[in-house]
Amino acid sequence: MFCEKVIELIRELHRMSDGQLPAFNEDGLRQVLQEMEALYEQNQTDVNEAKSEGRADLIPSIKLRHCCLLRNQRCVTAYCYDRLLRIRSLRWEYGSVLPANVRFHMCAEEVQWFSQYKKSLASFMRSLGGGEGLDLTQDMKPPKSLYIEVRCLKDHGEFEIDDGTVILLKKNSQHFLPRWKCEQLIRQGVLEHVVS
């Protein structure tokens, strides 16, 4: 049956329901596009014949192929769109710089979309409050205290806090730091919030 190939693309994403981004399946996409081209050409031939030789009996087959073309178009668009939703969430989870193993799973057009999204988001956040700016990727949970106890899960190097003090984030070291300075590093798995 037609449109089996494109379902594999859809399943690939559906399996990763936590939002991970599998590698862009250019090969699979190319095969779908080839199938579409073949369907389109066969339909062109049949349409011409139906017109010139009055072969109305060809119409059901033309219609069937057209349904398949629309189906492929829908599935490919849904594949790409769902990937955008995943790429969008990467900006919120990782920040604006992505680790290489994530970036390698994006195709050139997706890299472009991501950098434009970053730009739009940044200029939106900058423009808030009459140009004063507010970072919306911070403060994801309601604050309970100003300072929190954190444990360092890996070596991260030097880290400057509000008052200009510089501390060294060394693996397994424990610190008492301003909450809002740590949020991003906790999300990225560098620090762990210790709750007694």
Q: Which of residues 37-66 bind other proteins (CB under 8 A)?
A: 37, 40, 42, 46, 57-58, 60-61, 63-64
# residues near other proteins by CB under 8 A: 92
Interaction of residue 23 with other proteins, rule CB under 8 A: no
d(Cα 58, Cα 60) in Å, to the nearest integer?
6
- What's the half-sphere exposure (Cβ side, CA atoms, 13 Å) at 67? 8
Place of tokens 């790429």: 87
d(Cα 58, Cα 52) in Å, to the nearest integer?
12
CB of 182 to other proteins, least distance (A): 7
CB of 78 to other proteins, least distance (A): 4
CB of 188 to other proteins, least distance (A): 6
- Packed helices 26-52 and 59-94: angle between N→C axes, nearest 10 degrees: 160
Interaction of residue 20 with other proteins, rule CB under 8 A: yes
Any idea how long the chain is?
Answer: 196
Residues 119 to 138 in contact with other proteins, rule: CB under 8 A: 119-121, 123-124, 127-130, 132, 134-136, 138
d(Cα 140, Cα 181) in Å, to the nearest integer?
13
d(Cα 139, Cα 142) in Å, to the nearest integer?
7
CB of 137 to other proteins, least distance (A): 9
Residues 136 to 195 in contact with other proteins, rule: CB under 8 A: 136, 138-146, 148, 179-180, 182-183, 186-189, 192-193, 195
Q: How many other CB atoms sit within 10 Å of the CB of residue 187?
A: 16
CB of 172 to other proteins, least distance (A): 16
d(Cα 64, Cα 86) in Å, to the nearest integer?
33
- CB nearer other proteins, residue 146 or residue 166: 146
Residue 110: what residue type? E
CB of 173 to other proteins, least distance (A): 18
- CB nearer other proteins, residue 142 or residue 157: 142
Residues 57 to 116 in contact with other proteins, rule: CB under 8 A: 57-58, 60-61, 63-64, 67-71, 73-78, 80-82, 84-86, 88-90, 92-94, 99, 101-102, 107, 109-110, 112-113, 116
CB environment 95-108: b (16+ within 10 A), e (fewer): eeebeeeeeebbee
